[in-house]
Amino acid sequence: MHKLWAAARKEAQLLRRDLGGLAILFVMPIVLVVTITLIQDSSFKSISQLEIPILWVDLDQGPIAAQVLTGLKASEAFVISEDSNEDIAAQLVRQGDYKLALVIPEGLSEELKEKVTGKVDATLATFGIAETVDSIPESEATSTQEIKLYFDPVTQQTFKNSVKNGIDKLIAQVESEMIYQAFETALNEGETSSTSFAEEPFIAYKEITMGHSEASDDHTLNSAQHNVPAWALFAIFFIIVPLSVNMVKEKGQGTFARLQAAPVSYLTLLGGKTIVYISVCLLQFLLMLLIGRFLFPVIGLPQLDIANRWFLLFFVALCAGFAAIGLGLLLGTLANTQEQAAPFGATFVVILAALGGVWVPVFVMPPFMQALSKLSPMNWGLNAFYEVFLRQGAWQQLLPDIGLLLGFFIITTGIAVVYHRKQHRI
């Protein structure tokens, strides 16, 4: 034990003297989590929370355009500016000033009203209620009016689809209302009844987010709940770079060779490193939680909801830290130069992060990449964090992922020790 603590003390002293290394370990994750969360915050919001600037061109000037505009304003999804010229609107979208221009064609309200009235009369005539349907020419009855949507090329297909669906819904609502009113007018011989068109839908949606406990429906994935654990994991795994470089430096300085002649096991030396670097991992994690909890609300980001699950969160961070350290110890054992350890370590962490769902959630990846992501320890860590943060999971739900993380630590450290023994077997 004396040797283990002496080895740990030496690692702590080395780390304390390396201010650049400490900055990488603590400042880099803070900058990353704040920057990425600020960038990604909007993509985690639904379309209705975004307030996208759009341009409204009303060539109709009728009730339908007015109702669609009211619907758009009510949605609170858009910041609406108005213009009267379609060409200017198209030009402004082309320049990127607006994400979308919506052009309501001239005569839309009148034409739709005529069509609806004609269709209602035709329907009533088949029941012998109305007298004739000859008043609507066939060509007019089948013509289609176009609402034009000019999109900025940078908009994504998902955004386009959301907008089209939203406008479709508004038009359908207006159309239904007109049909209803036309029937009412026809059946009451020109008088509308006091029963107005029901604005409240008969069928509504109730959204229930499934978790392991009843309280879980408050915990949906937002930018803080995703980014804090994701980038905390990235920081934790980034520790493989300073750790492996530290080990390679020891080889170059000759201190490692000196230790090989001393009666101390390689496992003890690795143990000393593990104690110090796992403490660093936990400190990094604490820092990230505090940032999410206290700094995020100040800078307009959602507050990280920890929901009194500190212990489980730290346990997951501990297991993730062990997995990262195992990888660092293996890389430090295999690499002979800093040029091998540092670039490989950094690149490998980025790949593991990408695969693990740190940047893009795994469920939006193609099936092959989703399968591949299961091999990334960062994916196991992220799943365990989601389990605690979002699904309110208990120990038993965490076991598979933390088992994988701890197993990964044992395997990588084991390989490092075996490789070292093989290289230096007397």
Partner 1 sequence: MIRIDGLSKRYAGADYFSVKEVSLHVKPQEIFGLLGPNGAGKTTLISVLCTQLAPTSGSFQIAGVSPETSTRLVQQQLGMVPQEYSLYPSLTAWENLMFFGSMNGVGKRLLKNRIEEELDSLGLATFAHKRIQTFSGGMKRRVNLIAGILHKPKVLFLDEPTVGVDVQSKQVILKKIEALNKAGTTLVYTSHHLNEAEDLCSSIAIMDQGSILCQGAPKDLIREAGVTNLEALFLLKTGKALRDYA
69, containing H or E segment? helix 63-75
As a whole number of angstroms, the distance between CA 119 and CA 89 comes to: 34
The distance of closest approach from Cβ of residue 344 to partner 1 in the complex, given in angstroms and rounded to an integer, is: 22
The distance of closest approach from Cβ of residue 405 to partner 1 in the complex, given in angstroms and rounded to an integer, is: 30
The distance of closest approach from Cβ of residue 254 to partner 1 in the complex, given in angstroms and rounded to an integer, is: 4
CB 170 within 8 A of CB 68: yes
Q: Hey, which residues between 3 and 62 contact partner 1 (CB under 8 A)?
A: 3, 6-7, 9-10, 13-14, 17-18
102, containing H or E segment? strand 100-104
The distance of closest approach from Cβ of residue 26 to partner 1 in the complex, given in angstroms and rounded to an integer, is: 18
**What would the two tokens of residue 238 be?**
């980034």
The distance of closest approach from Cβ of residue 332 to partner 1 in the complex, given in angstroms and rounded to an integer, is: 16
Max Cα separation, the chain?
110
User: Site for partner 1 (CB under 8 A): how many residues?
Assistant: 24
The distance of closest approach from Cβ of residue 249 to partner 1 in the complex, given in angstroms and rounded to an integer, is: 9
Contacts of 384-388 with C-beta under 8 Å, sequence gap 24+, read 384/316, 384/319, 384/320, 385/229, 385/230, 385/232, 385/233, 385/313, 385/316, 386/221, 386/229, 388/309, 388/312, 388/313, 388/316
Site map 288..327 versus partner 1, x via CB under 8 A: ----------------------------------------
Site map 237..266 versus partner 1, x via CB under 8 A: ----------------xxx-xxxxxxxx--
CB 197 within 8 A of CB 207: no
Identify which of 377, 379, 390 has the alpha carbon closest to the alpha carbon of residue 312.
390
236, containing H or E segment? helix 223-238
Nearer to partner 1, 8 or 233 (CB): 8
Q: Hey, which residues between 407 and 426 contact partner 1 (CB under 8 A)?
A: 424-426
Site map 203..242 versus partner 1, x via CB under 8 A: ----------------------------------------
Contact between 351 and partner 1 by CB under 8 A: the answer reads no
Nearer to partner 1, 14 or 295 (CB): 14
As a whole number of angstroms, the distance between CA 399 and CA 58 comes to: 59
Residues that bind partner 1 (CB under 8 A): 2-3, 6-7, 9-10, 13-14, 17-18, 253-255, 257-264, 424-426
